[in-house]
């Protein structure tokens, strides 16, 4: 379960910012990652909840901005959103598609703090 190590990394970032900017409580963390990044949001919430006990991020809410899968068709040259990959082109049904987006790594976008 790599969500534990991701949560530990997030808490290290929170701790660093808390030390530099002198806040005592994190209300919300807004996170971004690709739909194909193998991050399970519910597992990340559970891991974060366990590891954040006794830290400024205890009881913080996680908000997810999940980036969609985008493929580019080599036949019709259109970019399209898709629910999965591999997949045929949603426009022309060609199987000649390449993955353009959806594998982005976990990023911390915003922290709402007190």
Domains of the chain and any CATH numbers: 3-113 (3.30.2320.80)
Task: Note down pLDDT in tens along the chain; length 114 residues.
Answer: 699 999 999 999 999 999 999 999 999 999 999 999 999 999 999 999 999 999 999 999 999 999 999 999 999 999 999 989 999 999 999 999 999 999 999 999 999 999
Prediction pTM value: 0.89
Whether 97 and 63 have beta carbons less than 8 Å apart is answered as no
Q: Look at residues 38, 100, 28 and name the one whose alpha carbon lies nearest to residue 66.
A: 38
User: What value does the CA radius of gyration of the chain take, rounded to a whole number of Å?
Assistant: 18
Reduce the DSSP state of residue 27 to 3 states and report it. Answer: strand
């Amino acid at each position: 379960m790599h969500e534990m190590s991701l949560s530990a990394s997030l808490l290290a970032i929170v701790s660093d910012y808390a030390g530099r900017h002198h806040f005592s409580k994190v209300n919300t963390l807004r996170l971004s990652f690709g739909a194909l990044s193998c991050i399970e949001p519910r597992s990340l919430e559970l891991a974060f909840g366990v590891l954040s006990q006794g830290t400024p991020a205890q009881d913080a809410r996680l908000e997810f901005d999940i980036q969609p899968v985008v493929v580019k068709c080599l036949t019709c040259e259109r970019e399209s959103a898709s629910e999965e990959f591999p997949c045929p082109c949603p426009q022309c049904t060609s199987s000649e598609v390449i993955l353009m987006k959806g594998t982005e790594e976990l990023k911390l976008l915003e922290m709402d703090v007190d």
